[in-house]
Structure 1
Amino acid sequence: MKLTLVLLAFVGCVAAFSVPTSTKVKIADAEFLQKQKFFFEILYRVEDPLMFEEWIKLGQKLVVEKAQYKEYDYYMEKFYESYKYGALLPKGEFFGALVKTHYKQALGLFNFFYFAKDWATFTHNVAWARIHVNEGMFVYALTMAVIHKPEFEGFILPQIYEIFPQYFFNSKFVYEAEKFDYDVWSKLIMYEKEYKDILYKDVSEFSDSFYFYTKDWKTWQWWKMMGLGEHWYVEDKFFLRENIAQYNKDPKYAEVLKGLKKFYMPVDYTRDIDFFNAESKLSYFTEDLGWNAYWYYLNLDYAFFLDGKQFGLDKDRRGEWWIYNVQQILARYYQERLANGFGEIPEYFWYKQVEYGYDPQLIYYNGVGYSYRKNYFEYQTYGKFDMLYQVQSFFDRINDVIETGYYKTADGVVIDFRKPEAIKYIGNYLQGNVDIYDKYFFNYYYVLSHMYFADVDYFDFEVFPNVFLNFETMLRDPFFYSFYKKFADVFYKFKFYLAPYTKKDLSFDGIKFKDVSVSKLETYFDFVDFDVTNLLNDKMTFVDGKFVWDKALLARQARLNHKPFNFEFTIDSDKVQKGVVRIFLGPKFDEYGRVIPLKYNSQNFVQIDSFVYPFVAGQNSIKRSSKDFTWTAEDRITYTELYKYVMLASEGTYDFPLDLSEPHNAFPDRLVLPRGWESGMPMQFYFFVSPYSEDYEQYSNFDYTYESGVGSGTRFVDSKPFGYPFDRAVDEYSYFVPNGYFKDVNIYYVDTFAKYFEQKYVNYGTFDYSIVY
């Protein structure tokens, strides 16, 4: 929990400085708590029938009187017509946010939520949709409405991996969770202890092959290395997460968890015991819940079908921000590849085989498994050549436009593609959003490309689950990075035609780096409990009309993390002035140990922080911790805990702060650094200070203690291009300026599991809590 709300999202060009911890935090009133309770209950076990009588009564009909809406548009009319004629996507069917026939219905439902004039109309529609509308479509539309509806600033929804754990955990785990029964569980443990006592015996009786198998996988089946079986365990301590110590110090926290029975089951990523292919080695990263959730929320904040002017997204430079995020995701993925001995992200053209297959091992909540791709797969076997050629032509068109240098729209407007500000047109085009510069010629390519790779035709309605059809699942597949590299190539091609920055352009007169020291960079695998209570197959208990939330199911997973690290800057300034400090992290060598020239390496740098600093005349000593990064978030408080906090506050025994949870769209702090090597992985920082523009407006129209500021136009540190000064083709000489500083570092990976496969764990058969202290 941060009392200073993190403001944005990914790779570092967001908030200008850490919000002072003295900022007064708003406390929720009774009305807020009642509304918050509604959101938590309406999303409880969303694939099951609604069981809350209070909300069932509200959901008898959809409000269709136009006077109850700020706007009643075409999509709302079509949605209601589809409902009347039984043409809505049925409940229980797979919902794909990038299936053309699905997202149009989702847009209509979103509008019924978003344009509702008052809370009563909104809740009637939400309760109705919870009962009558496809579950995936309902969650997608509701989440987006809460993000964008101004009245709902400060409200918290469960994380997407808590609402639909099926999108994030393998089918084996989901089956086990759905079978969980408390009464049977207690007997199973007794029987397993009696009949499978091998799990609790001295490890010396195991053969050497067992240890060879586990040590090669590191995090693979970590529970076996502790002598635990693949079943549910009672949790008598606390939820595991990196910031749990803050909660344990709060006396109210014990009261919140009083009477709660907690059970956890160990789970790893969806790697096969035998290699499916070499790319499986990266599954701890590509299938990380925080990594995938970040992309999901980015694409809800700036959903491709939302009008930029209507929702204020154009003020946030939505297209430029989206394609910049794509570039940074690819850069961060490349860094993780290097940490594991891999090289460049493979490129696959339309006619080539995809060497690396992928089996997500996911199962949708209706019981249908996700489709998989074999090694050396050819997408052309799908047929659908008209769709394939259409997607190809979209890339050809934008490349032709960039090479030509201008574009004349259907209504005669000429756009100069040799100007830096034209990046907004490139970004809008690549995202395929509705702000595209010529809707007549450029439309639907983004949706069509994902439909093609998921083997979905233009007008398909009931489709098989595929990771490429939803934002929260597509980053799992290695092919995502190969395909999105084509997006980045268009981005780089546009930047190629812009003049590189000269040394004069990058110089900041009067500012000079004297030194930067960086503390040791260490990564490791720790443990976290993800709340999967929505999978619980158990009766719901009500006392005096109040729901008794007395059980929590937790998925305990090993995940990548890093120890806190610090910077100490020594910077000279010849006068009092403000500057923007940017921090970039990039590789030093390629997979063969060759130094990567900055000309080619600039696209591999990830911006990890940026902040405004008021320099004084003379020497400035600045200390900055990784804990101060304003765009990252620590582990979020769980669904179960939040609900119990709300109920406690509703009883008047707790003040519910609006900043209790981390923001939905912040990037996981623990993924800032690549895994590194035990011997130390060579990397490099680039520190850069640029002038701060006093006329740039920040934090002016949203309360940064609990709002994310989407659509405010004031989220970013300044008005420079995202990624500045690496946003253009690089002349390496120009970057050696007094206000720029390169620093070589090493990232060390600490193997926290070594003591288990080296047979040094003395409490074999129990979870090792010493590892989390």
Structure 2
Amino acid sequence: MKLTLVLLALVGCVAAFSVPHATTVKVADQEFLQKQKFFCEILYRAEDPLMFEEYIKIGHNLVVDKAQYTEFDYYMEKFWESYKLGALLPKGEFFGALVKTHHKQAWGLFNFFYYAKDWTTFSQNVAWARIHVNEGMFVYALTLAVIHKPEFEGFVLPQIYEIFPQYFFNSKFVYEAEKFDFDVWSKLIMYEKEYKDILYKDVSEFSDNFYFYTKDWKTWQWWKMMGLGEHWYVEDKFFLRENYVEYNKDPKYTDFMKGLTKFYMPVDYTRDIEFYNAESKMSYFTEDLGWNAYWYYLNMDYAFFLEGKQFGLDKDRRGEFWIYNVQQILARYYQERLANGFGEIPEFFWYKQVEYGYDPQLIYYNGVGYSYRKNYFEFETYGKFDMLYQIQSFFDRIYNVLETGYYKTADGVVIDLHKPEAVKFIGNYLQGNVDTYDKYFFNYYYVLSHMYFADVDYFDSEVFPNVFLNFETMMRDPFFYTFYKKFTDVFYKFKFYLAPYTQKDLFYDGITIKDVSVSKLTTYFDFVDFDATNLLNDKMTFVDGKFVWDKALLARQARLNHKPFTFDFNIESSKAQKGVVRVFLGPKFDEFDRVIPLKYNGRNFVQIDSFVYPFIAGTNSFKRTSSDFSWTAKDRITYTELYKYVMLASEGTYKFPLDVSEPHNAFPDRLVLPRGWEEGMPMQFYFFVSPYTEDYEQFSNFDYTYESGVGSGTRFVDSKPFGYPFDRTIDEYSFFVPNGYFKDVKIYYHDTFAKYFEKKYTDYGTFDYSVFDF
């Protein structure tokens, strides 16, 4: 899904998006706006007491009348019993979605939300949970409900990094944000400037360094080279993001944001200034907010405990899609490793040390810091060998089953696992979801593995924060990629038993790709303002019962991005026909500059685009830009702006289009390309055209302009295996066909920070907005 927010939408115009059958975007009515307002306000400062009187009034009691639900199941019963007995996870304690005891309680709370018959019951339950239930559990269950409850299509929740910035920014930033005081802000800046000025003076006569204060400067500490301190600054311009021009080109946006005071603070990635180990060099990527949020929402969309038939997830091939995403995440991570001079993702062995440690430097909202892992760590020191043996037996069992070739379930059904359609069984098994092919052996192995690596026992309830216990934090740790490589090893083992595609399988009669020209590929670091207003430690002001949102607290961070690029296709077709065009990006060489044979390199290609194209007889020349990619998104509307939209639309000042934000589950457009090198990093594109033979149209049964389509069965361009034609072992003698085309390219990294080293920055002591102009 690709939506582009244009500020003209504020006056009722329709935002554009890149699907050929665009329809008129729906505009929210007052009932919708009141519900959207409820979601925005109920999540405001979720870790603090609820301050909205209207919700406090309705949140005294949980609705336990079974007549008010479409279903009242076992988990709801257990949740209610736990509450009455005082056995729920207390407020203020760390919540881990992959802690078994937490998970079961969250499941019950989710069902109270999901099965509510009407808005009155739902809103009362949500208000009650906001007041009485653990904050992390509340947000987790509410997010799942809004994603999966059909009545809530089109509603927008703040991004998870706006609800809980503590999961994404280091403790230094969180501490600064929570003690921020508007009344003393100006004095603080004045004093800081006064006693730090000496550090900004040119001391070149005493040192070879440009500025004494910046002698240890690193790319992610950009503010030092600009001569800025490390505290809050007032923002007199706009929210920084890649698509800021789309917002600022309309003068109505300025009027729209009047009265809002914006403060930003430079924020580092979560790492030691001196590298913790070599892997810390990639923290700009592994700790990227969009990268981690993508994994979080994937696991919200296809939550392992939600039944496929009931929620429609089987229509989306949930297990296959999940393991394919794991494979693509590892491939993308490997590309970034190559860009930084690293090689293969390290292997994980059960009884050997993990070479690379990790210190997340995160702090939970209750003040407890996250656990860290030292270098050369041995997980055996945790003990818990019974848990370890269960996890090992999972992998042993699936390897044995794959070698045997079939599996006989407890009820006598025999499944042939050497057939392509068995991928759904393998995917479900690897995810550990409830649709696994034999529920008799379903034992939460996936949950147990994360508990084991976080040093949590079976029945632990109050646990120390650990990045491996929540989806939104686990990809920060390099060990995530090492462990999940074992999942893809199983996946590749399954593929090994599938015959490679023959040339006849891949050949598309009448289609020949003559050429694809690719514009220059350039990556760079730009800046973005992440909305951290939920950390604001300030009194809440109400006027006539309405909350006044007049301040925004922003985390300003450097992050990887790329310049827009285009493909110019030249394809010959013998007749008019529809085809599916797939675009992949993969490495050319390994870390030693050796060409990677295609047989082994296929797993390193990342699919960055796919679309249906109506070919005409003869030459087809057409252009595809990076902004057209159907599964990526640019920066989303911030929490602050969303609330402003809703309130002004509620007052009748503006109309509220339902496509006001990018979809929650799209991949960040800016991370499509690896960082590259200044001299050009060799890579290769692969373009492939296959026949379009589906009976359905993509997006045919949901409104693509404002829905994500989870559970629709028509999210994907066709029903080919994910990753096709790289989804099987490659026979190079058969792989090359006229409808497939390799293109060698180079990715160039432009150092936007070089001018600071070269002493060309003239406005020292102020933020450099010209960084966007190269």
If the length of structure 1 is used for normalisation, what is the TM-score? 0.97
Cα gap change, 1:22 to 1:310, in 2 (>3 Å): closer
Cα-to-partner distance string for 1:234-254 (whole Å, 9 max, x where unaligned): 000000001111111233321
Distance in structure 2 (CA, Å) of the matches to 1:459 and 1:114: 26
Per-residue CA deviations over 1:594-624 (Å, capped at 9, x if unaligned) read 0000000000000000000000000000200
Matches within 5 A, 1:375-386: 375-386=375-386
2:127 equivalent in structure 1:
127
**What's the counterpart of residue 13 of structure 2?**
none
Q: Given that residues 588 and 682 in structure 1 are in contact (C-alpha distance below 8 angstroms), is that contact kept between their aligned partners in structure 2?
A: yes
Match of 1:238 in 2: 238
Show CA shifts across 1:435-455 (max 9, x none). Answer: 011111232110000000000
How far apart are the structure 2 equivalents of 1:199 and 1:263? 24
| Distance in 1, Cα, partners of 2:227 & 2:648 | 38
- Letter matched to residue 765 of structure 2: G
Q: SS at 1:220's partner residue?
A: helix
Residue 196 of structure 1 aligns to a residue whose secondary structure is helix
Aligned counterpart, 1:176: 176
Residue 585 of structure 2 aligns with an amino acid whose one-letter code is L
SS at match of 1:559: strand
Do the aligned residues in 2 keep the contact of 1:399 with 1:490 (CA within 8 Å)? Answer: yes
CA distance in 1, matches of 2:413, 2:290: 42
Q: Relative to structure 1, is the Cα distance of residues 205 and 181 closer, same or farther in structure 2, using a 3 angstrom cutoff?
A: farther
Indicate the SS of the match to 1:131. helix
Preserved CA contact (<8 Å) 1:214 1:220: no
CA distance in 2, matches of 1:483, 1:759: 44
Amino acid at match of 2:388: L
Equivalent in the alignment of 1:698? 698
- The whole-number CA distance in structure 1 between the counterparts of 2:727 and 2:508 is 18
Conserved? CA contact 1:239–1:529, under 8 Å: yes
- Measure the CA separation in 2 of the matches of 1:387 and 1:209: 54
- 1-side partners of 2:36 and 2:203: how far apart? 49
Please report how far the alpha carbon of residue 211 of structure 1 lies from its aligned counterpart in structure 2 after TM superposition. Answer: 6.7
The secondary structure found in structure 2 opposite 1:480 is helix
What secondary structure, in the 3-state scheme, does the structure 1 residue paired with 2:46 have? coil
Report the Cα offset of residue 299 of structure 1. 0.1
Q: Can you list the C-alpha shifts for 1:289-323, whole angstroms capped at 9, x where unaligned?
A: 00000000000000000011000000000000000
Structure 1 pair 642–585 and aligned structure 2 pair: CA distance change class (3 A): same
Alignment match, 1:463: 463
- 2:51 maps to a residue whose letter is M
Per-residue deviation, residues 181-205 of structure 1 (Å, max 9, x unmatched): 0011111112122222235545757
Letter in 2 for 1:60: H
Q: What amino acid maps onto 2:130 in structure 1? A: R
Using the alignment, how far apart are the partners of 1:565 and 1:198 within structure 2? 44
- Tell me by how many angstroms 1:468 deviates: 0.2
Secondary structure of the equivalent of 2:767? coil
Range 688-697 or range 133-142, more displaced: 688-697
CA distance in 2, matches of 1:194, 1:522: 40
User: In structure 1, how many angstroms separate the alpha carbons of the residues matched to 2:496 and 2:304?
Assistant: 26
The letter of the residue matching 1:498 is: L
**Structure-2 separation of matches of 1:318 and 1:2:** 22
- Who is 1:65 aligned against? 65
For 1:206 and 1:544, locate their aligned partners in 2 and report how far apart those are by CA, in whole Å. Answer: 61
Map of 2:293 onto structure 1: 293
Which residue of structure 1 lines up, in the alignment, with residue 146 of structure 2? Answer: 146
Alpha-carbon distance change, 644 to 471 in structure 1, aligned in 2, over 3 angstroms: same
8 Å CA contact 1:203, 1:759 repeated in 2: no
Instruction: Give runs of aligned pairs for residues 1-80 of structure 1, distance below 5 A.
Output: 3=3, 18-20=18-20, 23-80=23-80
Partner of 1:484: 484
Shift of 1:259: 0.5
Return the letter of the residue paired with 1:346.
P
Classify the secondary structure of the residue corresponding to 1:275.
coil
| Residue in 1 that maps onto 2:579 | 579
Do residues 428 (structure 1) and 428 (structure 2) align?
Answer: yes
Counterpart residue identity of residue 539, structure 2: K
Q: Is the 8 A contact 1:696 1:719 kept in 2?
A: no
Amino acid at match of 2:621: S
State the distance in 1 between where 2:454 and 2:694 align: 48
Secondary structure in 2 matching 1:738: coil
SS of 2:130's partner is: helix
Deviation track 1:235-286 (CA, whole Å, cap 9, x = no partner) reads 0000000111111123332122111000000012112121210000000000
Following superposition, the deviation at residue 218 of structure 1 comes to: 4.5
Within-5 A mapping of 1:637-716: 637-716=637-716
Q: Residue 622 of structure 1 corresponds to which residue in structure 2?
A: 622
Separation of aligned partners in 1, 2:728 and 2:203: 57
Report deviation, 1:116: 0.3
- Bigger relative contact order, structure 1 or 2, given CA contacts below 8 A and separation 6+? 1
Q: Which residue of 2 aligns with 1:734?
A: 734
Partner Cα distance (1:243, 1:384) in 2 = 49
Contact 2:271–2:280, Cα closer than 8 Å, also in 1? yes
Amino acid at match of 1:135: E
Unaligned regions of 5+ residues in structure 2, if any? Answer: 6-16
Structure 1 position 530, deviation (Å): 0.1
Counterpart contact for 1:508–1:689, Cα < 8 Å? yes
Q: Distance in 2 between matches of 1:489 and 1:511?
A: 35
What is the match of residue 402 of structure 1?
402
Q: Any residues of structure 2 matched to 1:515-534 within 5 Å, and which?
A: 515-534=515-534
Distance in 1, matches of 2:484 and 2:131, equals: 37
1:259 aligns with 2:259: yes
* Inter-CA distance 203–327: structure 2 relative to 1 (3 Å threshold): farther
- Find the residue that maps to 1:263 and give its secondary structure: strand
User: Counterpart of 2:731 in structure 1: which amino acid?
Assistant: D
- In 2, are the aligned partners of 1:290 and 1:668 still within 8 Å (CA)? yes
Q: Whole-Å Cα distance in 1 between the matches of residues 78 and 616 of structure 2?
A: 61
Paired position in structure 1 for 2:279: 279
Unaligned runs of 5+ in 1: 6-16
The answer to whether the 8 Å contact 1:677/1:747 transfers is: yes
- For 1:21 and 1:229, the matched residues in 2 are separated by 50
Q: Once the 2 structures are TM-superposed, how far is the Cα of residue 334 of structure 1 from its aligned partner? A: 0.1
SS of equivalent residue, structure 2 residue 568: strand
CA distance in 2, matches of 1:739, 1:696: 23
After the TM superposition, which of the residue ranges 181-190 and 704-713 deviates more from structure 2?
Answer: 181-190
State the SS of the aligned residue for 1:208: coil
- Please state if 1:392 is matched with 2:392: yes
**Corresponding residue for residue 189 of structure 1:** 189
Question: In the alignment, which residue of structure 2 is the partner of 1:606?
Answer: 606
Q: Write the distance in 2 (CA, Å) between the matches of 1:248 and 1:2.
A: 20
Which of 590-599 and 180-189 deviates more? Answer: 180-189
Between 1:732-741 and 1:449-458, the stretch displaced more is 732-741
Asked if the contact 1:110/1:145 (under 8 Å) is kept, the reply is yes
